[in-house]
């Protein structure tokens, strides 16, 4: 029986195209059933056209259906890939423009930070609905989550649907290792590596070729290249001894050291507000692809995409073993990070499912930063689960970049402003302004 793959938020057309291109690249998955769902009718129509064009380019014949009703789309699913963005571009702009009036700078704003907190809060109600539907109409399905804020979303799902099978997937570790191999001029397929931590702030604990660490070679490259030293994660690596697994723009937001200092922004070439422009580019790309499809153009297959969800599905369906980095709830996997919160660890995939690896203790300096990262994660989730608006403010107060930049009064006022701006996208108990 062919598996059913449901994509929720399929109107994220470029991501849908990449995911399906990877799925169809596996001969065993060429005849899968693909169900597309989006709340926007035009985007859903476009996603269906993209899916059919991608299948045609790959030379496969899957069953493709587009379903506007989410519950009906989920019925009988084996795999549910979540790529929703609640509030879309308008909400993203609010997450940047309002904090900027307080001189609180962000680069991506989707993970922690004030932008990540409010992105999480407006995503949680939709996640709760997806989880409820899945437990009722496809209780054995896997939820493969790509939607950020990853650590918050996986932690929240553990609270509201502990029986749901969830993997959080992100390509940051893979592309970090590809990039590092390019820096040291070593073929990626000749190296082995081991990373762990939290999503967007994991650490390359081992990176070897023929049993020898490649870190000394990286040190040589960094010492020889002043421009390479002008990147946040290189700066962090030189000070902490372990390379972080997310871009410099992302990494700058998770610590208190960089974005509040104009001279550091310049020294490290940080692109403040980068994600707003990325979001605008995504809108333009959507319009371009829709126009091309309407004009009868064909779509090619992205041979550079190596997303994890298709690999997960392939391993589960065929028994092919492989190891990826996945986000799961910590249950003694990383022993010096709190249990009950999402961590990112090497995870074995096979016919029996996903098997997260026990890592043990992280290096203490890495664990300390991860615990700072997990503070706003835990508090934002508890705010939604408990319906406690005060915990929203507490999440912002312990967020490293926000706390380093604003006074506590400014933080509370900013949370009030964002609460009003996002309105009924937020959980109902959290839609109130709050005096300290």
CA angle 114, 83, 362 (to 5 degrees): 60
| Cα 218 to Cα 205: distance, rounded to the nearest angstrom | 14
| Cα 250 to Cα 235: distance, rounded to the nearest angstrom | 14
CA angle 346, 335, 158 (to 5 degrees): 70
Bridge partners, 350 (sequence order): 353
SS (H, E, C) the chain: CCCEEEEECCCCHHHHHHHHHHHHCCHHHCCCEEEEECCCHHHHHHHHHHHHHHHHHHCCCCEEEECCCHHHHHCCCCEEEECCCCCHHHHHHHHHHHHHCCCCCCCCCCCCHHHHHHHHHHHHHHHHHHHHHHHHHCCCCEEEECCCCHHHHHHHHHHHCCCCEEEEECCHHHHHHHHHHHHHCCCHHHEEEEEEEECCEEEEEEEEECCEECHHHHHHHHHHCCCCCCCHHHHHHHHHCCEECCCHHHHHCCCCCCCCCHHHHHHCCCCCCHHHHHHHHHHHHHHHHHHHHHCCCCCCCCCCCCCHHHHHHHHHHHCCCEEEEEEEECCCCECCCCCCCEEEEEEEEECCEEEECCCECCCHHHHHHHHHHHHHHHHHHHHHHHCCHHHHHHHHHHCHHHHHHCCHHHHHHHHHHHHHHHHHHCCHHHCCCCCC
With CA atoms as reference, report the closest residue to 152 among 115, 182, 194: 115
As annotated, the binding site for substrate includes: 148
CA angle 215, 205, 251 (to 5 degrees): 90
| Cα 281 to Cα 264: distance, rounded to the nearest angstrom | 27
Bridge partners, 143 (sequence order): 80, 166
CB atoms within 10 A of CB 436: 9
Q: Is 171 a catalytic residue?
A: yes
As annotated, the binding site includes: 148, 170, 200
Point out the catalytic residue in the list 159, 171, 250, 355.
171
As annotated, the binding site for Mn(2+) includes: 170, 200
Q: Could you give the residue numbers annotated as active site?
A: 171
């Amino acid at each position: 029986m062919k598996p059913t793959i449901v994509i929720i938020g399929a109107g994220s057309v470029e991501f849908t195209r990449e995911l399906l291109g990877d799925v169809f690249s596996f001969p065993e998955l060429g005849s899968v059933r693909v169900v597309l769902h989006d709340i926007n009718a035009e985007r859903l129509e476009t996603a269906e056209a993209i899916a059919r064009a991608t299948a045609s380019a790959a030379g496969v014949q899957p069953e493709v259906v587009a379903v506007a009703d989410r519950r009906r789309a989920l019925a009988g699913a084996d795999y549910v890939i979540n790529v929703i963005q609640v509030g879309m571009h308008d909400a993203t702009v609010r997450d940047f423009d309002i904090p900027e009036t307080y001189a609180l700078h962000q680069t991506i704003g989707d993970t922690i930070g004030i932008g990540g907190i409010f992105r999480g809060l407006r995503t949680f109600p939709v996640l709760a609905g997806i989880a409820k539907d899945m437990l009722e109409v496809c209780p054995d399905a896997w939820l493969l989550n790509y939607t950020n804020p990853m650590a918050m979303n996986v932690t929240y799902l553990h609270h509201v649907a502990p029986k749901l099978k969830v993997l959080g997937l992100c390509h940051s570790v893979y592309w970090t290792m590809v990039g590092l191999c390019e820096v040291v001029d070593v073929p990626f397929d000749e190296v082995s590596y081991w990373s762990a931590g939290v999503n967007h702030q994991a650490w390359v604990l081992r990176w070897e070729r023929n049993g020898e660490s490649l870190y000394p070679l990286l040190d040589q490259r960094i010492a020889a290249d002043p421009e390479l030293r002008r990147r946040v994660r290189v700066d962090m690596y030189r000070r902490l001894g372990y390379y972080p697994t997310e871009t410099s723009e992302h990494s700058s937001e998770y610590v208190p050291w960089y974005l509040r200092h104009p001279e550091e922004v310049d020294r490290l070439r940080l692109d403040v507000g980068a994600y707003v422009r990325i979001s605008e580019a995504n809108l333009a790309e959507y319009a371009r692809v829709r126009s091309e499809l309407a004009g009868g153009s064909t779509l090619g297959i992205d041979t550079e995409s190596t997303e994890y969800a298709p690999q997960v599905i392939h391993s589960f369906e065929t028994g092919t073993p492989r190891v990826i980095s996945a986000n799961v709830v910590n249950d003694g996997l990383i022993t010096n990070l709190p249990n009950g919160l999402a961590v990112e660890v090497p995870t074995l995939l096979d016919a029996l499912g996903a098997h997260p690896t026990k890592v043990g203790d992280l290096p203490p300096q890495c664990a300390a930063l991860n615990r700072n990262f997990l503070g706003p994660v835990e508090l934002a989730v508890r705010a939604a689960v408990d319906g406690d608006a005060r915990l929203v403010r507490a999440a912002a107060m312990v967020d490293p970049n926000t706390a380093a930049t604003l006074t506590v009064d400014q933080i509370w006022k900013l949370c009030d402003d964002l609460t009003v701006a996002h309105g009924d996208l937020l959980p109902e108990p959290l839609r109130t302004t709050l005096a300290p």
